[in-house]
């Protein structure tokens, strides 16, 4: 039982600290779980893998959960995934049921989080065992599938695909590494940058730049307006009772399952999960007319789904090495930092780490529930912390994260600036950040799998004929693209019909 | 199988193999860019026209001071941090000494309705936060700082 020796008091303290900081990040509108993980990453540089994971997973669970606080109290989603929590949470607050709404959401979050942890525990090793049999061809097709799924859920399919391809392009800058069978030659960069970009752009400065500085530049452009909130007051209303969950088991389970499933799809994000589960609840509700007017079942559907994401997004990350969302994309960087290669072999070769992760996820959910359930009145005050104090601190931590990642390389700090500005300009022209990031993370692997497959087999047809799995993956790729084309065409027709053009 | 009879056969020249995949990505990007222009071209033109019209009527609707102030301060922060860090190598002093004025100036740039109380809070935050970060990261965790 080596796992017991890894679970020190420090491990549990770090989970608790991570959850608390994550909740604070999630509760502040405009800050996300991704930002929490990115900004706190430098703290893991001095920790071993077990303790580092404890902190990061605590941040992840806390960050996703904290979003319900401003969603319910201020009608502002703290994170994108809590958008549907505003639909019923805020009307409940207006009726004087703010505390009841918060506690309902917190309890639903706990259920969703534990449900997804269970699915993660059961499903990730099975998927990893299956994925061990994959050759380079199937691995390349999985990456292609991941990119098409993300792109198909973008606002515009073509722009999503373009963003993903652009991410791949950026990932190819540098040397075609000899250690992966390359010829050691440089490409896609001018001669004078060879010293800096020999190994390409480092992943974490890119992520920190896009999610940290990029977000702050967007806010600066809008004038860093404070929300008109000086204090949060809980009106006197009906006290919270668990009886609100009576008859909601199906809702809880269905929403948790939707969140977990959507989390498994690479890059889809929490908003899709909560919107989908909220819509389903509306379809199946006995009183659908009450949803949107302060019905607890709406808060339950939304919150169970967005915490269901946490375990779901870790499934492709741990079993295939493909991040399920932008937060788990940052986690990939943290694993790489600790010398751990994620993929089908990860669980089998790092059984103790896997068990530790499961303990951390479950414990983080319990801590999240305990902290938020019993201290919600105090945590709610976080939404009033002014941005003019927060953003400079976040930028400072971004710099530490970027500088220290390769033990003191100033070029990584400039990378942060380059990609921060790039993300800010990119969102103006409609660039989709999620496909870009996934393309950037998986681009190098995609090249190796594609080129080595062709070098071995000498024909493109091998990608279609290698195995039944390859054919199955092509089927999934076609379905995801067809779904998106159908969706886009329908939306365009509706728009044209509506405008009378 | 005779490879020459297969129209899909490909032979990769190893000395040039570093350009094989990037060239494919270039073509994919070009095709996607053209497709975007074809499918969304009209929408993009409408958007640009609307933006140009709004610019003519109202000018650019953004907070220039805070945006360019942020960019300017960030660039100055990075340059100075490195420079000061070289004066006191391996101590993290570049980070500590430059982060304090950077945080104070950035907070002052972002704050609205400034008053004495807010200035005091900003200054306290600008001193305490970098010191805490420096102490915890550089002194306790031995993390490399500029």
Cross-strand pairs, A459: B9
pLDDT of the residue at A64: 86
CA dist A222 and A229 (Å) reads 18
How far is C-alpha A146 from the chain's CA centre?
14
HEC letters along A19-86: HHHHHHHHHCCCCCHHHHHHHHHHHHHCCCHHHHHHHHHHHHHHHHHHCHHHHHHHCCCCCHHHCCHH
* pTM tops 0.90, yes or no: no
Question: Does A155 reside within a domain?
Answer: no
Question: How many CB atoms lie under 10 A from the CB of residue A352?
Answer: 15
For chain A, residues with pLDDT lower than 50 are: 499-501
SS3 at position A175? strand
Question: Does A440 reside within a domain?
Answer: no
Q: Are A217 and A421 in contact (CB under 8 A)?
A: yes
Sequence-distant (≥ 6) Cβ neighbours of residue A396 within 8 angstroms: B99, B102, B103, B129, B130, B133
Q: Are A184 and A176 in contact (CB under 8 A)?
A: yes
pLDDT of the residue at B5: 67
Structure tokens at A462: 């091998």
How far is the first Cα of chain A from the last one, in angstroms, to the nearest whole number?
69
pLDDT of the residue at A447: 94
Say which DSSP state A287 is in: -
Q: At which residue do the structure tokens 């609205």 appear? A: B112
Q: Are B70 and A398 in contact (CB under 8 A)?
A: no
Q: Tell me: the pLDDT tens digits for A115-151?
A: 999 999 998 888 888 888 888 999 899 888 888 877 7
Query: In terms of Cα–Cα distance, which of A73, A414, A423 is closest to B82?
Result: A414
Inter-axis angle of helices A136-152 and A468-499, to 10 degrees?
10
Yes or no, beta carbons of B111 and A388 under 8 Å apart? yes
Q: Are B110 and A394 in contact (CB under 8 A)?
A: no
**CA dist A176 to A73, A205, A339, A446, B18, Å?**
52, 21, 21, 13, 6
Question: Does A72 reside within a domain?
Answer: yes
Question: Does A480 reside within a domain?
Answer: no
**CA dist A108 to A68, A73, A352, A361, Å?**
11, 17, 30, 16
**CA dist A184 to A174, A177, B52, Å?**
9, 5, 47
Say which DSSP state A266 is in: T
Yes or no, beta carbons of A182 and B17 under 8 Å apart? yes
Yes or no, beta carbons of B10 and A222 under 8 Å apart? no
Structure tokens at A497: 């019909």
CA dist A440 and A418 (Å) reads 15
User: What does the angle CA A377 – CA A379 – CA A384 come to, to the nearest 5 degrees?
Assistant: 100
Query: In terms of Cα–Cα distance, which of B64, B122, B118 is closest to A220?
Result: B64
Question: Does A170 reside within a domain?
Answer: no
- Residue in A with minimal Cα distance to B19: A187
Q: Tell me: the pLDDT tens digits for B49-99?
A: 887 887 777 777 788 899 999 999 999 999 999 999 999 988 999 999 999
To test the contact with chain B by mutation, choose from A160, A181, A396, A420 the residue with the greatest count of B C-beta atoms within 10 A, namely A396
Percent of chain B with pLDDT over 90: 61
Question: Which chain A residues are within 8 Å of B21, Cβ to Cβ?
Answer: 172, 446-447, 450-451
Q: Does A403 touch chain B (CB under 8 A)?
A: yes
Mean pLDDT of B139-143: 80
**CA dist A334 to A47, A51, A419, Å?**
11, 12, 19
Query: In terms of Cα–Cα distance, which of A162, A131, A165, A169 is closest to A473?
Result: A131
Within 13 Å of residue A386, how many CA atoms lie on the same side as its CB? Answer: 18
Task: Report how many domains make up chain A.
Answer: 1
pLDDT of the residue at A267: 57
CA dist A320 and A129 (Å) reads 10
Alpha carbon of A466: minimum distance to chain B alpha carbons (Å): 14
Alpha carbon of B135: minimum distance to chain A alpha carbons (Å): 12
Question: Does A149 reside within a domain?
Answer: no
pLDDT of the residue at A405: 76
Yes or no, beta carbons of B129 and A226 under 8 Å apart? no
CA dist A15 and A372 (Å) reads 15
* Residue count (chain B): 146
User: What does the angle CA A415 – CA A418 – CA A420 come to, to the nearest 5 degrees?
Assistant: 105
Alpha carbon of B54: minimum distance to chain A alpha carbons (Å): 16
Query: In terms of Cα–Cα distance, which of A120, A101, A108 is closest to A302?
Result: A108
CA dist B136 and A44 (Å) reads 12
The partner residue sitting opposite A226, judged by closest CB among B75, B77, B112, is B112
Inter-axis angle of helices A157-172 and A433-457, to 10 degrees?
60
Predicted ipTM? 0.91
Question: Does A15 reside within a domain?
Answer: yes
Binding-face residues of A in 10-29 toward B, CB within 8 A: none
- Domain membership of residue A8 as a residue range: 2-132+199-421
pLDDT of the residue at A228: 52
- Residue in A with minimal Cα distance to B62: A221
**CA dist B11 to A457, A460, B118, Å?**
9, 10, 68
SS3 at position A459? strand
Question: What is the per-residue burial (b if ≥16 Cβ within 10 Å, else e) of A197-236?
Answer: beebbbbbbbbbbbbbbbbbbbbbbeebebeeeeebebee
Q: Does A428 touch chain B (CB under 8 A)?
A: no
Query: In terms of Cα–Cα distance, which of A242, A170, A236 is closest to A202?
Result: A170
Binding-face residues of A in 369-388 toward B, CB within 8 A: 386-388
Structure tokens at A401: 């994260």
Structure tokens at A467: 């195995």
pLDDT of the residue at A281: 86
Yes or no, beta carbons of B28 and A165 under 8 Å apart? yes
Query: In terms of Cα–Cα distance, which of A125, A58, A77 is closest to A331?
Result: A58
Q: Tell me: the pLDDT tens digits for B51-63?
A: 788 777 777 778 8
| Burial tier of A428 (Cβ tally within 10 Å: 0-12, 13-18, 19+) | exposed
Does the structure show a pLDDT above 80 at B40?
yes
CA dist A245 and A239 (Å) reads 14
Question: Which chain A residues are within 8 Å of B71, Cβ to Cβ?
Answer: 217, 421
To test the contact with chain B by mutation, choose from A216, A217, A388 the residue with the greatest count of B C-beta atoms within 10 A, namely A388
Question: How many CB atoms lie under 10 A from the CB of residue B23?
Answer: 11
Yes or no, beta carbons of A46 and B10 under 8 Å apart? no
Sequence-distant (≥ 6) Cβ neighbours of residue B34 within 8 angstroms: none
């Amino acid at each position: 039982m080596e796992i017991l020796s890894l679970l020190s008091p420090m491990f549990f303290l770090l989970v608790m600290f991570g959850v608390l900081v994550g909740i604070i990040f999630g509760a502040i509108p405009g800050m996300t779980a991704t930002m929490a993980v990115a900004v706190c990453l430098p703290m893991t540089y001095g920790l071993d893998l077990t303790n580092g994971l404890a902190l990061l997973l605590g941040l992840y669970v806390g960050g996703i959960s904290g979003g319900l606080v401003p969603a319910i109290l201020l009608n502002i989603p703290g994170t994108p995934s809590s958008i549907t929590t505003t639909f019923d949470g805020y009307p409940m607050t207006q009726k004087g049921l703010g505390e009841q709404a918060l506690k309902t959401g917190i309890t639903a979050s706990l259920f969703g989080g534990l449900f997804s942890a269970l699915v993660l525990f059961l499903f990730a090793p099975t998927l990893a065992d299956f994925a061990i049999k994959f050759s380079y061809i199937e691995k390349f097709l999985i990456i292609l599938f991941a990119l098409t799924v993300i792109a198909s859920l973008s606002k515009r399919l073509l722009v999503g695909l373009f963003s993903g391809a652009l991410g791949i392009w950026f990932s190819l800058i540098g040397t075609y590494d000899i250690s992966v069978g390359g010829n050691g030659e440089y490409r896609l960069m001018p001669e004078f940058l060879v010293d800096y970009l020999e190994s390409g752009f480092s992943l974490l400065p890119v992520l920190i730049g896009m999610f940290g500085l990029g977000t702050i530049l967007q806010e600066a452009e809008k004038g860093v307006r404070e929300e008109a909130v000086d204090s949060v007051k809980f009106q006197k209303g009906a006290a919270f009772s668990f009886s609100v969950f009576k008859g909601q088991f199906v809702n809880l389970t269905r929403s948790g399952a939707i969140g977990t499933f959507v989390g498994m799809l690479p890059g889809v994000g929490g908003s899709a999960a909560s919107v989908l589960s909220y819509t389903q609840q509306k379809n199946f509700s006995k009183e659908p007319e009450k949803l949107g007017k302060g019905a607890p079942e709406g808060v339950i559907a939304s919150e169970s789904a967005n915490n269901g994401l946490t375990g779901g997004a870790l499934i492709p990350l741990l079993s295939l090495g493909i991040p399920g969302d932008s937060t788990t994309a940052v986690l990939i960087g943290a694993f790489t930092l600790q010398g751990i290669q994620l993929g089908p072999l990860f669980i089998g070769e790092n059984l103790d780490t896997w068990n530790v992760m499961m303990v951390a996820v479950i414990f983080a959910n319990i801590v999240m529930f305990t902290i938020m359930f019993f201290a919600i009145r105090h945590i709610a005050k976080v939404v009033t912390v002014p941005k003019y104090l927060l953003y400079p601190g976040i930028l400072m931590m971004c710099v530490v994260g970027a500088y220290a990642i390769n033990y003191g390389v100033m070029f990584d700090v400039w990378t942060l600036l380059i990609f921060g500005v790039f993300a800010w300009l990119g969102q103006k022209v409609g660039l989709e950040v999620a496909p870009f990031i996934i393309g950037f993370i998986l681009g190098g692997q995609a090249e190796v799998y594609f080129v080595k497959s062709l070098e071995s087999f000498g024909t493109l047809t091998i990608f279609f004929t290698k195995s039944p799995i390859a054919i199955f993956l092509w089927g999934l790729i076609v379905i995801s693209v067809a779904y998106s084309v159908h969706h886009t065409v329908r939306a365009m027709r509706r728009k044209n019909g509506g405008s009378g053009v | 199988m005779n490879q020459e009879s297969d129209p899909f056969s490909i032979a990769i020249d190893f000395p040039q193999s570093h350009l094989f995949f990037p060239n494919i990505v270039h073509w994919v990007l070009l095709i996607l860019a053209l497709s975007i222009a074809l499918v969304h071209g009209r929408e993009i033109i409408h958007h640009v026209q609307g933006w140009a019209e709004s610019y003519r009527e109202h000018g650019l609707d953004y907070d220039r001071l805070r945006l360019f102030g942020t960019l300017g301060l960030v660039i100055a922060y990075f340059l100075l941090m490195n420079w000061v860090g070289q004066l006191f190598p391996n101590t993290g002093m570049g980070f500590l000494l430059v982060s304090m004025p950077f945080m104070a100036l950035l907070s002052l740039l972002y704050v609205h309705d400034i008053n004495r109380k807010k200035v005091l809070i900003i200054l306290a935050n600008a001193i305490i936060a970098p010191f805490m970060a420096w102490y915890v990261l550089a002194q306790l965790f031995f993390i490399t700082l500029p």
